[in-house]
Chains A and B, each alone.
Chain A
């Protein structure tokens, strides 16, 4: 029989458009029959028929699958034939046919999680035999909640993996750190391997296609990826077809993204009051804020003015559609899926969409050769304006939103009013008048809507493999793969007037890029049980060539702005840029996995990697690793039945990091325009060519990390309780640090200093994960808790590294926050009778009552840069999560809490909104501060004075603005309902689940900013400052999942 055709007909009758899938029909050779055997396959515990179970005549290509009633029939060659019965997640059973004609089989569900297989890179290992630190996130975890990116799926799921959402932008802003911060130069994140192919194109990955994610956390497991494994390895395995009936899965969700928190700023009345008072106090010119003027300018609603937060935010709608068809038989399987995801952000004109098609298949060609492929094609698109949450704070509420007289239609803070604040109708009607006081900032809504910045990328990630089973114990596998990304960005800014902020000429900036990574991996695997000894040995040879090209055109000046294409532009200027990138690598790898009696486990590997980021002679690095495990319960207390497994693990390994950019080993010359001097009348730019500002170091080599890891895994009470505890010490040695060089070299610019292998950083910590899962009849529940501690210290650096508010130096955590200590608010008591200030003065001059009193830490009588000290940790010491799931007769409920503890945030947004700042031209402020700030009559101890000149620089980074960032967040809560079988069967459905969920629903924190994850952990030297980024939206979702 041809099971494929029958199943296809069913599908086609259900879903017409699946006609295209007919291409996937596999023709199965009919074999001549000798004798027919039939029967049913059922589920052992319940007796329910198993639909789509596979029955194969062992050693032949003959096979079939069970029908809807679990029945099958198959032709067997003779009495000595052996039938193999298999079904996903059930134990395979073999039956000798003998003289039977009816064989009924009951399959037993694979007993425990221990049988799960973990992907460890270039192979798999049974979970119970694992010796390294590998965290696994399964498809169940991934598919239950609606997630747009796979990074979010990792959040709170795996101990030791810190995932933070640094921005609420659609599809963006996730930072992943595995076991702390390892490198100072900002490129120490994990590497990603999708179906065996290393890739950097993360937007392409549709989380619903993922079967499982494994995170290789320790060096003993990550060393297998040698070169860049120091930050950990995230291995993603996508779904493949399973032998059995063809399955159709459809899921869909719709979400609403809501602004989580609004900041209470001043309205127009309050704003006018504050600035009239402030300007009065320094005797400054005419009142710009008289009621008459405001009313005449603004019109209706003038008392409230414009709430810019409302003007630039909206409820962002998101939707996702996913369809997957999969199936297979004894000779092959396939999985074909497609996805469309579209999300709008809470900021106007912010959107991301992704659509992809994935096809994975495997074919058995003859007895010893297997061929298969993975192909994923993704189109990703994102869109944004020039909008920014910061503009809502700097813009004046006095400003109107629109002004039709202005090109672009938005009001600017200068307007041709024909009247001014004092004497109406005294001003020339063509003269600009500042309607927003002295405020000259951008119209936030105009900024959000006028520009149109889009980026598009198409990624093709594909591989073909052939696997040759040379002997039963020796397998050869070869896999060429390609990772292609072509992209374009199209940034359009029309000309507009928002006086004084005007753009006189439209600009179109178009950039194209084309990245191509070709890889060829060859692998030989030896796998043999010899008595009590089981050996798996792997040898791999892998080469990679990467080439990229980019080109860009900037065209300024468009006579017809309704035609925003390059050919219409350039009336002012057109400039072109472009370049290429090249990268090559070669890797050799060997690994032995050995166990004795299944209880003494050993894994040893050695990888040798070479790549062209380093100078010839320094290109190759060796990365060894060793790990051992011992299932002590089997030796020490085999009789204790409550202990299913108790395993001790120890691992050590070395990994590397080469991600420092290319060509750092050579002095290169600039292009002739970079240094263009000017000569002549008329003045022209003359060509000049010389060494870049960068300073090369030909001696740089791999950054290496070695990690020691001790862990214990325990499964208790028939695997109801699973505990994993681990302690690690990760030493990043020879860390590539940009060594600051003296300015006498005449080249130095921060950021382009030479890299030298000198730094050393240590991360250590404890990871714990414990879960309890139980099934009682219809009731299933699972509670999982995890926590991770991170202790991070710089062991040695050649010199102190500073960047913005962050600093790294020996003996302190990487990138700690560095600033002044503010003791309190200065009062009039801090001055003597002659009015002399009694304490150390800041370099900017004598402070006044209401300013912050900074500590003179070095007691030199002056408050200056040297009085800064460590005032905060930018990294949490503790991250934790608690997940709960349950199912009861079709109802499922789950929630996840996760939190971070003990880290500090410089709430720069609050600092800026609760004081005046450098070049602060009447920016909006927090209402609370505006009404309660320090004055002579209100000597506040909490709020600094309103000093337009900000002489004391009260808003500088100091303890005054530091806050505890610790939080506990209800990341996700979800309620689902699956229809019972009796309703599904008439619809030919296997499952129909409806659910609602809320993401970021609740947060418990003392932090007063919008979101304690904003601005956190974006880079090792740039974390801990919250300037008021894009907050994570609160998302409400309704979804449906259907299986046919």
Chain B
């Protein structure tokens, strides 16, 4: 009896355990949520959510795939004016599997996807968030401008990848995303930017510098129309059609509106007879800090000055003591890679030929030997890396700091004023911060007024309106005290002026490509690269579609010609 009792107790005890242990409700037990981050399903609930989402669309342009790094690695390096520390890249030595190319592709699509997705969601969730129509339009105008920017970049750099907008967002990862027609991008770009122009403000208060303004959208649309003339009309039709002419007239009007909006002006030297003033009035467009003038009380405004039209902002705040730049960061890598700074080697050097191309400036009021812009563009022996009394105020090119790429390739000329020509734009004066030069806070001026003026001159030339165009071209020259040119405008004048004014700013290679579609520019790539067959016509006009995309889309996406 005692034994049975004991067994009974054991059974009861075991059952109790079983009941207790299995009594926990399975569903309840397994109901977990991520404690670390929000989910999309809980987003777009408040007005702030919309603001945060709009902000996010601005990040791709400042990322490593675009202006924090790759833009410079690719398009500056590919140009005939830049030497890269090792050969390869400066021979356009990329291939379809290149990481730079892919990151650029990704960052442009990030800008397109985010802006389109946010437009869609803000409209759909407007009531939930409780925002009025005016706010929706305010957000949408910025997003449309960024969407237009991505269309422009995609079609001018990658030729004809996949097109979509907020009404045709990609959803299915298994789908093939093949080629779209170029015209979809050009038209999409135009309609997006037109929406933006209609609703964007002309200016913002300082706290919102960097957001898209009406002037930015107008300049970009003008630029896109100018590019469309070459990349679309001239490339495919080889002749000026009525549509092409209408587009150019439209571009001309847009540029004119920007130039005469009253919101922008060229940074003018205080005293044209002072070398310091002439150089610094120009140089402040690439500087992180304001530059001195001959008057101790007056400095030349640097970031977000009145010459700046589209300026990509990089942070003055310090994030982490890590390799900055790229995603998760708010600084660029210009100083790290390209500057003639104290702390490391630079990867870029100017081609000595460019120095010699700058016009002589005999009779310049400030006594320059050459076009003053050469001194704002290139570091030469004798230059100091900072003007202030600090540890960076050391001479440029003290000998072994620099690799002297040109010299090692036998490109130097006898009597050359400097053993090497460093890139001065964006690097003067050296950013003095503890982490310099890894995280460079210097803003990138993607479009500045002198570029708009030269594009205006170019459009005028194409339309035959020489007298109107030459005025703006001469304003750009007059700012640095260079004598005016006489009409008519020739392609060579446009090419030279852009070469000098915008040297090392990432435009040259893309300029040459668009001009190469128009026979009147007579672009001879073999000549441009000193007889070296670096540029393959019919291939190097566009970057390859990343091999990764070709593979993912399993034959549904065509590679660009030649790659």
The judgment on whether A and B are partners is yes
Residues of A within 8 A of B (CB): 282-286, 288, 366-369, 420, 431-434, 438, 440, 468-471, 476, 478, 500, 502, 504-505, 507, 520, 522, 524, 541, 543, 545, 554, 556-557, 572-573, 575, 579-580, 582-584, 586, 610-612, 616, 619, 662-663, 666-693, 695, 697, 739-749, 754, 756, 799-800, 843-845, 864-866, 918-919, 921, 949-951, 953
Query: A368 to B6, Cβ gap below 8 A?
Result: yes
9 sample A-B contacts, Cβ–Cβ < 8 Å, listed by A number:
A505-B321, A556-B321, A584-B30, A668-B34, A677-B56, A742-B173, A746-B110, A843-B94, A864-B96
Query: B399 to A669, Cβ gap below 8 A?
Result: no
When C-beta atoms are compared, the residue in chain B nearest to A866 turns out to be: B96
Interface residues as binary, B523-555 with A (CB distance below 8 Å gives 1, 0 otherwise):
000000000000000000000001111011110
Complex Cα distance, B2 from A366, in Å, reads 13
| Closest chain A CB from B217 CB (angstroms) | 17
Query: A951 to B56, Cβ gap below 8 A?
Result: no
Complex Cα distance, B408 from A692, in Å, reads 46
Complex Cα distance, B546 from A741, in Å, reads 13
* Interface SS of chain B: loop
Query: B56 to A690, Cβ gap below 8 A?
Result: yes
Residues of A within 8 A of B307 (CB): none
Of the candidates A476, A745, A844, the one whose C-beta lies within 8 Å of that of B109 is A745
Query: B404 to A685, Cβ gap below 8 A?
Result: no
Contacts A680-B209, A740-B551, A845-B91; A668 near B408 (Cβ below 8 A):
no
Residues of A within 8 A of B303 (CB): 681, 683
Residues of B within 8 A of A470 (CB): 7, 10-11, 14
Complex Cα distance, B13 from A683, in Å, reads 69
Residues of B within 8 A of A666 (CB): 34, 39
Q: Which 8 A-B pairs have the closest CB atoms?
A: A746-B113, A688-B55, A677-B58, A688-B56, A476-B14, A434-B400, A678-B313, A689-B52
Complex Cα distance, B36 from A582, in Å, reads 10
Q: Tell me, yes or no, whether B87 is within 8 Å of chain A by CB.
A: yes
Residues of A within 8 A of B208 (CB): 679-680
Contacts A368-B6, A678-B313; A612 near B26 (Cβ below 8 A):
no
When C-beta atoms are compared, the residue in chain A nearest to B403 turns out to be: A438
Query: A742 to B59, Cβ gap below 8 A?
Result: no
Residues of A within 8 A of B314 (CB): 678, 683
Contacts A675-B59, A689-B38, A744-B113; A541 near B328 (Cβ below 8 A):
no
Complex Cα distance, B211 from A686, in Å, reads 12
Complex Cα distance, B10 from A367, in Å, reads 11
Chain B 297-317 residues near chain A, CB threshold 8 A = 303-304, 313-317
| Closest chain A CB from B510 CB (angstroms) | 21
Q: Tell me, yes or no, whether B40 is within 8 Å of chain A by CB.
A: yes
Of the candidates B170, B313, B344, B419, the one whose C-beta lies within 8 Å of that of A440 is B344
Interface residues as binary, B402-441 with A (CB distance below 8 Å gives 1, 0 otherwise):
0110011110000000010000000000000011000001
Contacts A500-B344, A744-B162, A865-B547; A586 near B170 (Cβ below 8 A):
no
Q: Tell me, yes or no, whether B390 is within 8 Å of chain A by CB.
A: no
Complex Cα distance, B34 from A866, in Å, reads 43
Contacts A746-B109, A799-B551; A543 near B35 (Cβ below 8 A):
no
With A504-B435, A678-B62 known, 17 other A-B pairs at CB within 8 A are A368-B6, A434-B401, A440-B344, A468-B10, A522-B21, A543-B24, A543-B29, A572-B434, A686-B55, A689-B53, A690-B53, A740-B551, A744-B161, A744-B177, A745-B109, A844-B87, A951-B87
Contacts A575-B320, A677-B55; A690 near B114 (Cβ below 8 A):
yes
Residues of A within 8 A of B328 (CB): 674
Query: B26 to A679, Cβ gap below 8 A?
Result: no
* Interface SS of chain A: loop
Query: B170 to A744, Cβ gap below 8 A?
Result: yes
Complex Cα distance, B174 from A697, in Å, reads 12
When C-beta atoms are compared, the residue in chain A nearest to B436 turns out to be: A504
Query: A284 to B30, Cβ gap below 8 A?
Result: no
Query: A582 to B32, Cβ gap below 8 A?
Result: yes
Query: A742 to B35, Cβ gap below 8 A?
Result: no
Query: B330 to A678, Cβ gap below 8 A?
Result: yes
Query: A682 to B36, Cβ gap below 8 A?
Result: no
Interface residues as binary, B96-111 with A (CB distance below 8 Å gives 1, 0 otherwise):
1100001001100111
Contacts A689-B43, A740-B551, A844-B91; A676 near B59 (Cβ below 8 A):
yes
Complex Cα distance, B86 from A844, in Å, reads 11
Query: B52 to A504, Cβ gap below 8 A?
Result: no
Q: Tell me, yes or no, whether B207 is within 8 Å of chain A by CB.
A: yes
Residues of A within 8 A of B398 (CB): 431-432
Query: B551 to A800, Cβ gap below 8 A?
Result: yes
Complex Cα distance, B403 from A691, in Å, reads 43
Contacts A543-B24, A680-B210, A844-B91; A667 near B40 (Cβ below 8 A):
yes
Contacts A471-B7, A541-B21, A683-B441; A586 near B30 (Cβ below 8 A):
yes
Residues of A within 8 A of B173 (CB): 695, 697, 739, 741-742, 745, 754, 756
Counting chain B CB atoms within 10 Å of each CB, the highest count among A431, A686, A756, A865 belongs to A686
Query: B162 to A500, Cβ gap below 8 A?
Result: no
Q: Tell me, yes or no, whether B296 is within 8 Å of chain A by CB.
A: no
Complex Cα distance, B56 from A553, in Å, reads 26
Residues of B within 8 A of A432 (CB): 398, 401
Residues of A within 8 A of B40 (CB): 667-669, 691
When C-beta atoms are compared, the residue in chain B nearest to A682 turns out to be: B316
Q: Tell me, yes or no, whether B319 is within 8 Å of chain A by CB.
A: yes
Residues of B within 8 A of A (CB): 6-7, 10-11, 13-14, 17-18, 21-22, 24, 26, 29-30, 32, 34-40, 43, 49, 52-53, 55-56, 58-59, 62, 85-88, 91, 93-97, 102, 105-106, 109-114, 117-118, 161-162, 164, 170, 173, 177, 206-211, 303-304, 313-321, 327-328, 330, 343-345, 394, 398-401, 403-404, 407-410, 419, 434-435, 441, 443, 546-549, 551-554
Query: A676 to B330, Cβ gap below 8 A?
Result: yes
Contacts A675-B59, A865-B547; A690 near B113 (Cβ below 8 A):
no
Query: B56 to A689, Cβ gap below 8 A?
Result: yes
Complex Cα distance, B53 from A687, in Å, reads 9
Complex Cα distance, B105 from A434, in Å, reads 39
Query: B14 to A524, Cβ gap below 8 A?
Result: yes
When C-beta atoms are compared, the residue in chain A nearest to B22 turns out to be: A541
Query: B549 to A742, Cβ gap below 8 A?
Result: yes
Query: A541 to B18, Cβ gap below 8 A?
Result: yes
Complex Cα distance, B7 from A368, in Å, reads 9
Residues of A within 8 A of B399 (CB): 285-286, 420, 433
Query: A675 to B321, Cβ gap below 8 A?
Result: no
| Closest chain B CB from A756 CB (angstroms) | 8
| Closest chain A CB from B464 CB (angstroms) | 41
Residues of B within 8 A of A678 (CB): 58, 62, 210, 313-315, 330
| Closest chain B CB from A673 CB (angstroms) | 8
Residues of B within 8 A of A367 (CB): 6
Query: A288 to B24, Cβ gap below 8 A?
Result: no
| Closest chain B CB from A207 CB (angstroms) | 33
Of the candidates B13, B59, B209, B410, the one whose C-beta lies within 8 Å of that of A681 is B209
Counting chain A CB atoms within 10 Å of each CB, the highest count among B177, B546, B552 belongs to B552
Residues of A within 8 A of B345 (CB): 440, 921
Of the candidates A469, A504, A610, A739, the one whose C-beta lies within 8 Å of that of B30 is A610
Query: A919 to B86, Cβ gap below 8 A?
Result: yes
Complex Cα distance, B211 from A687, in Å, reads 14
Of the candidates A283, A368, A505, A746, the one whose C-beta lies within 8 Å of that of B410 is A283
Of the candidates A431, A677, A845, the one whose C-beta lies within 8 Å of that of B87 is A845
Query: B56 to A685, Cβ gap below 8 A?
Result: no
Residues of A within 8 A of B313 (CB): 677-680, 683
| Closest chain B CB from A541 CB (angstroms) | 6
Of the candidates B11, B37, B304, the one whose C-beta lies within 8 Å of that of A669 is B37
Complex Cα distance, B9 from A369, in Å, reads 11
| Closest chain A CB from B275 CB (angstroms) | 26
Query: A743 to B546, Cβ gap below 8 A?
Result: yes
Query: A949 to B95, Cβ gap below 8 A?
Result: no
Contacts A470-B14, A742-B170, A744-B177; A677 near B105 (Cβ below 8 A):
no
When C-beta atoms are compared, the residue in chain A nearest to B34 turns out to be: A663
